[in-house]
Amino acid sequence: MRRRVVLAASTAFVLVAIAVTVWLARPNDQAPAPRATPTPEPSVTTTPAPDQCAEAASRPFTPTSVTLTDRRYRVLALPRDGRNVPGVPPVTAAGRAEVAWDRPPGIKPGSSRGNVLLNAHTWPDGSALGNRLLRSLHRGDRIVVHGRSSTQCYEVTRRIEVRADGDAHGYYDRTGRPQVAIVVCSGERLGPGQWTHRTLWFAKAIGA
């Protein structure tokens, strides 16, 4: 009996010794892997786009397009008619989304005095640029006139509606502060090209 107890104890000791030896001798790849230190990502510096309205145009220029209500439209440089009235865009599908500019002797954008005269069509079905301006162009909005290498920005300061046979309210001013002045037909349509009123916007030059 005593011999069996001694034998069992000896066997247990040997098993424990083997287990400890195996644990101490286990390969390194069984040890917990060290936590990797993340490599910080390089910081990215973005350069803000220059503000095209930060400065006034350095000289008068011929406009080629104008941004109105966040859309850009082609500008047509048109002469006055026989009654000395500024020309208007053609009554075509393209013309309904174009802007007429009263070319010299009219005022150029970037000039130090006077109104840059623009006009656009209003169509009875509501699809022309004039209709869009009547819906969306208000005091405080920005107008950007673009040339080939120059830009001049304006801020709408006044919007008025007058009778078609009434006072132009300074639309043709050539000596006051630099502005853009826009006119479109409004009110009730009486017939082709005939409306009861005109809506005018005046916008001061930014930076001038």
- Cβ atoms of residues 79 and 87 within 8 Å: yes
pLDDT tens sequence across 109-139: 999 999 999 999 999 999 999 999 999 999 9
Query: What number is the average pLDDT over the span 33-42?
Result: 53
Token pair for 92: 């075509």
pLDDT tens sequence across 49-82: 557 787 889 899 999 999 999 999 999 999 999 9
Its sign, for the CA torsion 77, 79, 85, 88, is: negative
Compute CA 161 distance to the chain's CA centroid, rounded to the nearest angstrom.
27
- Is 65-205 assigned to CATH 3.40.640.10? no
pLDDT computed for residue 35 by the predictor:
57
What do you get for the CA distance between the two ends of the chain, in Å? 115
| CA–CA dist 76, 118 (Å, integer) | 10
| CA–CA dist 41, 181 (Å, integer) | 52
Domain locations along the chain: 65-205
